Amino acid sequence: QAIKLEQKIKQDDWKDKLIALQPNDNTLWNTAKQMRKQHTKISALKGQSSIALSNSEKAETLADSLENQFTLNNLKDPDTENIVHNTILKFFNSPTDSNITPPTFLELLHHTNKINVRKAPGIDGISNKIIRNLPLITILKFYHLLTHIFKLNHFPTSWKTAVVIPILKPGKDPTAPTSYRPISLLPNFSKITEHFILQRLNEHFYSNNILIPFQFGFKPKLSTTHQLLRATETISAGFENKEHTGAVFLDIQKAFDRVWLNGLIYKLINYNTPPPLIKLITSFLLNRKFTVRVNATLSKLRCIQAGVPQGAKLSPSLYSIFINDIPQKHNTTLCIYADDTAILAKNRNTRFITIALNKHIQELECWFHKWKIAINASKTEAVFFSKKRDNPKYSVMIQNSAIPWSQEAKYLGVILDKRLTWKTHINFIKQKFRDNARKLYPLIARNSAMTRENKVLIYTAILRPVLTYACPIWAYAAKSNFIHIDRCQNIILRQITKARWYMRNEDIRHVLNIPPH
């Protein structure tokens, strides 16, 4: 009886909690987020000489691994290194007359009123919620500090330390330190300052039309879907003209974490970036440190030798600038989104396709080596898009090894099969949808006490985007494949509405104001 009573109390508590969930106060979204999260405790880790068991040992072992990750690739090019060194030396020995225009106090107030209060704080423990509620006199003091940062071209050292939270990558060995993805938390005052630096950096690069047009990452009004459309339209146009398309999907090793900082500063100089801005960005980039947090335990501070800072607002734009001079060829199409790079060549002659791809890859290999960028040949994929069944006899080479022709490859989260039937991708998103729905089942189950309106919100805001991601790309898939998408939606909607067997799916969608796929 006592056990039954305890179970009833728990069930009643859960029912009351579900009834009380509201989207306006974020209780609904926070609960859904907790449901979807993988609560993975960091297991014992294999260190270099021993097994890490305690929190402090785990933190140090992970810090050792990350310290190696944040180092420069061992690629030598003495000529380029000398040019870069001499250019930087000459630049910093030259006097800088002008200063960067600092933001106005009103600009600072406007920005602090917009910052996301749910973002985690950095090592100083100051959250955005605290910053939003600071008195005007304190914000004024921060503003004086901000103006001095722009005047002196110096980024505060205390803001250059990141707290790293390790998150296990899906399907990876939990005992290997390299299986954990680092999530860096930076001081929020640092991010506010970066916002104004980024404004001035973007102003220079966009007003002078410097950035390459085929890099779609981190640009306003451009998304992964736009780059995928560009790639698939190239392939589809080939099909219409009875042409084949060869595509190579490059895997860049630790792209952001191993950026050659001197090379980046050299490129900022070459793009005629305002000298005070270069000096401030250099101060921002150099002498950075990190500490790994496991539960409440922090590792010793470690130095970061290379790479743009993880979690920083400036980092995506700085990476785009670093690869902005990537070689192009007239007979290939280059598709880049952040570090996801694809090279496409189309022709009726399969030999011409492989020649074009190989020539471009050879040129890229020289450029990658020059700028100390490493390619992971084992993870690089090649797909021959064609209505023909057989792949070409000729191979595409990278690092003196042939890349085997695959039947499909994943690019920007979408699986591209060689005939663009989208069958594999639709099966993939169907399974992903089911996995997410399973995690959220306690909220959206038939017997859940949560309101129908909130269940529909969970579906439209969390589950439906899994089905519709990049849907303009695969919208013309065969009806036999699309049926699977409709079934996924119908099952959940019938569950949400507690629909009886005789109720039509079209009527349910109409009542919930949800259009069919």
List the beta strands (DSSP E) in 71-198.
Answer: 161-168, 180-185
Residues 297, 56: contact at Cβ < 8 Å?
yes
C-alpha pair distances (Å), 492 with each of 209, 412, 439, 448, 505: 47, 27, 13, 13, 11
If you compute the radius of gyration of the chain from its CA atoms, what whole number of angstroms results?
A: 26
Residues 292, 113: contact at Cβ < 8 Å?
no
The Cα–Cα gap between 147 and 102 comes to: 6
Largest CA distance in the chain: 84
Phi-psi region of 242 (alpha: psi -120 to 50; beta: other; left: phi over 0): left
Domain definitions of the chain by residue range: 57-209+261-305, 224-254+326-417, 423-512
Closest CA to 44 of 35, 36, 55, 60: 55
The Cα–Cα gap between 46 and 453 comes to: 48
The Cα–Cα gap between 318 and 194 comes to: 12
pLDDT at 187: 97
Closest CA to 283 of 92, 4, 114: 92
The Cα–Cα gap between 261 and 306 comes to: 6
pLDDT at 517: 64
Q: What is the pLDDT along the chain (517 residues), one digit of tens a residue?
A: 688 788 888 888 888 888 888 888 888 888 888 888 876 688 899 988 889 999 999 999 999 999 999 999 999 999 999 999 999 999 999 887 778 899 999 999 999 999 999 899 999 999 999 999 999 999 999 999 999 999 999 999 999 999 999 999 888 899 999 999 999 999 999 999 999 999 999 999 999 999 999 999 989 999 999 999 999 999 999 999 999 999 999 999 999 999 999 999 999 999 999 999 999 999 999 999 999 999 999 999 999 999 999 999 999 999 999 999 999 999 999 999 999 999 999 999 999 999 999 999 999 999 999 999 999 999 999 999 999 888 888 899 999 999 999 999 999 999 999 999 999 999 999 999 999 999 999 999 998 889 999 999 999 999 999 999 999 999 888 888 889 999 999 999 999 999 998 999 999 998 888 877 6
CATH topology of domain 224-254+326-417: Alpha-Beta Plaits (3.30.70)
**C-alpha distance across the termini of the chain, in Å:** 50
pLDDT at 22: 87
Adjacent-strand bridge partners of 417: 408
pLDDT at 39: 65
User: Contacts from 113-119 at CB under 8 Å and sequence distance 24+?
Assistant: 115/188, 115/191, 115/192, 118/26, 119/188
Closest CA to 122 of 79, 159, 74: 159
In sequence order, what are the residues at sequence separation of 6 or more whose Cβ sits closer than 8 angstroms to the Cβ of residue 177? 45, 46, 47, 61, 62, 64, 65
Residues 356, 329: contact at Cβ < 8 Å?
yes
Which residue, chain included where needed, has tokens 């189309």?
A: 346
What are the percentages of helix, strand and coil residues in the chain, rounded to 5?
Answer: 50, 15, 35
Counting every residue, how long is the chain? Answer: 517
Residue 159 CA, chain-centre distance (Å), reads 23
Residue 282 identity:
T
Tell me phi and psi for residue 298, to 5 degrees.
-105, 140
C-alpha pair distances (Å), 315 with each of 181, 322, 342, 356, 490: 17, 10, 22, 33, 42
Tell me phi and psi for residue 239, to 5 degrees.
-60, -45
In sequence order, what are the residues at sequence separation of 6 or more whose Cβ sits closer than 8 angstroms to the Cβ of residue 490? 505, 508
In sequence order, what are the residues at sequence separation of 6 or more whose Cβ sits closer than 8 angstroms to the Cβ of residue 95? none
List the beta strands (DSSP E) in 137-256.
Answer: 161-168, 180-185, 244-250
Residues 298, 171: contact at Cβ < 8 Å?
no
Q: How many CA atoms lie within 13 A of 457 on its CB side?
A: 15
Q: How many CA atoms lie within 13 A of 186 on its CB side?
A: 21
pLDDT at 98: 78
